[in-house]
Structure 1
Amino acid sequence: MRPAIFRSQKPKMANEAKPCPCDIGDKMDYGGLGEEVQIEHIKAYIVKPASSSKKAIIVIQDIYGWQLTNTRYMADLLASNGYIAICPDFFVGKEPWNPSQDWSTFQDWLEDKKATNTNREVDAVLKYLKEQCGASQIAAVGFCWGGTVVHHLALQYPQIKAGVSIYGIIKDTEERYQLHIPTLFIFGEKDAVIPLDQVTILEKRLQEKCPVDFQVKVFPGQTHGFVHRKREDINPSDKPFIQEARMDMLKWLRKYV
């Protein structure tokens, strides 16, 4: 079962001089099947499966924020496969990135939104899932910025059962290869944000140092954001890769959660 998709629009980048390589893509006009809740100091979108479940997935936003309909669609997709899915506002009320902003200002915008500075929010969400939802097996899936958060969780939170990092990695520490949880990394071959040489280094170092199961998979011809920011019905040449990546995500979660 898949949640319904509604019409979409593909906005033109407003800043042509320094376009953001992290294009917002096909922004869905999609209402979502869940609800918004308050969890301590943050808001979150949560959707539950048709049948009771003790399995939950933390769905972590990209730079366009927790309210991006594409990310909520992915949360609904996970719920339709039997998981409690929750997408918290890990920017804690701060404005998400806007495609019209100048890419040269991105690092300044990111300064107070470090993917590795999310433990307080993660702790609150884990507590909520356990105490309010009865979840005993919890995994994490993240996109772009959220994929980097998943990499961070794989290093810091052994109580999380598994992670799926979709075009997001920690780049600046040698400790990033000592994963504590089984982690699937998904990338696009033509990603302008994470070039292939970085993916090659990641896989090589994980093979040398990682003590748990992992997989690094690169999808040919695909750009950053393809798994959740491309509509398969209006990108027919990309459709097989979009569907395969989503199936890989689900298979990895079923294996470990």
Structure 2
Amino acid sequence: MGLYSTGSGAGNPLSSASMSTTPRHLLLRKPTPRHHQLGFLSTFAFPLLHTSSGSRACNSSCQRSSTENIGRKITCSLLKVEDDVNDESCELVSGVELSVGEGADSINAHLFKAVKNNNGTGILLLSDIFGFEDPSTREFAYRVACNGYNVLLPDLFRGDPWTKDRLEDRPKNLFDKWISEQEPQRVAKDIATSAKWMVDEFLAAGISKKLGLIGFCFGGGRVIEVLAKDQGAYFGIGVSFYGTRIDTSVASKLRVVVFKGRGHGFAHRPQSFEEDEDAEQAFMMMRNWLNDGLVANTC
């Protein structure tokens, strides 16, 4: 499945939007890390970096919220809830920074886990050029986890993401140089390492299920490549938002939904009330797509 937006920059590969899936299968989406031995499917199996006595209420329709504290436990629910709601009716999400892989192949990542009502399904989330520590991307990962998932967000750029100050103040040739240094084979290997780590964790817990794959921009383009090569080995479904640098020869069977007039990044970084509304619609479409492909059909 594919989602695209069109706006004033629609001709620019950095200004499109897409949601994609393996057709069931369509060919076609710093603090020093603490190292944990994770059995991440067991309740509270991994520690928080630190916890706060307060919890945050959220729901399936909350679009923007603070994610300054990656280790904070937050309260989520598929239903609209109030601040004084009983926690027993809410979903809880825990977050931790960790390292996956071994030796030189290890990479940093954030793991977001639904603590209650965990559906035993893993999602690999691939960031845009701003990397795995970008607040908008981490908030999106929290929100996906709120729906019962275990979401792994790896550092695709090995500690060297593109930054917003570079975007605003640096000439395009510096971006071209930076992006050329993101060696495709290395990125593909890091994605494979992350996927294998998740699969191994599930198998260790006695669960054999396909993973979901989500990506934005740069990560969205990698979703298409990964699913085309994977052919259903690890992943059962994928979503690519505004994927860039895509090999169109492997994307001929995408389902695409277009949001006219929306700018690049609208789904996870909306800039207006109108974009908020379409971002909400895109999230709900993605949520239903993931549920139908990964949860409902495996029950």
- TM-score higher than 0.5 here? yes
Is 1:54–1:137's contact at 8 Å kept on the other side of the alignment? Answer: no
Instruction: Report the counterpart of residue 287 of structure 2 in structure 1.
Output: 250
C-alpha distance in 2 between matches for 1:163 and 1:120:
18
C-alpha distance in 2 between matches for 1:154 and 1:119:
11
Runs of 4+ in structure 1 deviating by more than 4 angstroms, as ranges, are 2-5, 114-117
Matched positions, count: 198
Is 1:151–1:170's contact at 8 Å kept on the other side of the alignment? Answer: no
C-alpha distance in 2 between matches for 1:66 and 1:147:
14
Q: How many angstroms does 1:53 deviate by? A: 3.2
Which of 1 and 2 has higher RCO (CA within 8 Å, sep 6+)?
Answer: 2
> Which structure is larger by alpha-carbon Rg, 1 or 2?
2
Q: Secondary structure at the match of 1:254?
A: helix
Structure 1 position 124 matched with structure 2 position 193: yes
Is 2:267–2:275's contact at 8 Å kept on the other side of the alignment? Answer: no
1:93-133 per-residue CA deviation (whole Å, 9 max, x = no partner) reads: 23434333322321111012145652211221122112224
Q: Secondary structure at the match of 2:273?
A: coil
Report the AA paired with residue 60 of structure 1.
L
C-alpha distance in 1 between matches for 2:238 and 2:172:
29
1:48-101 per-residue CA deviation (whole Å, 9 max, x = no partner) reads: 112333211111111011100111111111111111101000112234343333
Structure 1 position 69 matched with structure 2 position 132: no
Structure 1 position 226 matched with structure 2 position 266: yes
Q: Alpha carbon RMSD of aligned pairs, Å?
A: 2.2
1:2-53 per-residue CA deviation (whole Å, 9 max, x = no partner) reads: 57844xxxxxxxxxxxxxxxxxxxxx66434511011121000011112333
Q: Secondary structure at the match of 1:247?
A: helix
Of all paired residues, the percent bearing the same amino acid is 24
Stretch deviating more after TM superposition (110-119 or 63-72) = 110-119
C-alpha distance in 2 between matches for 1:246 and 1:52:
19
Q: Secondary structure at the match of 2:261?
A: coil
Residues 89-128 of structure 1 aligned to structure 2 (within 5 Å)? 89-97=155-163, 98-99=166-167, 100-114=169-183, 117-128=186-197
Q: Which runs of 5+ in 1 are unaligned?
A: 7-27, 178-205
Q: Which runs of 5+ in 2 are unaligned?
A: 1-58, 71-93, 295-299
Structure 1 position 215 matched with structure 2 position 279: no
Q: What TM-score does the superposition give when structure 1 sets the normalisation length?
A: 0.70
Q: Secondary structure at the match of 1:228?
A: coil
C-alpha distance in 1 between matches for 2:183 and 2:269:
22
Instruction: Report the counterpart of residue 176 of structure 1 in structure 2.
Output: 250
| Aligned counterpart in structure 2 of residue 37 of structure 1, from 98, 101, 114 | 98
Residues 49-68 of structure 1 aligned to structure 2 (within 5 Å)? 49=114, 50-68=116-134
Structure 1 position 151 matched with structure 2 position 212: no
* Counterparts in 2 of 1:56 and 1:170: CA distance versus 1, 3 Å: same
Instruction: Report the counterpart of residue 149 of structure 2 in structure 1.
Output: 83
Report the AA paired with residue 135 of structure 2.
T
Q: Secondary structure at the match of 2:268?
A: helix
C-alpha distance in 2 between matches for 1:241 and 1:151:
23
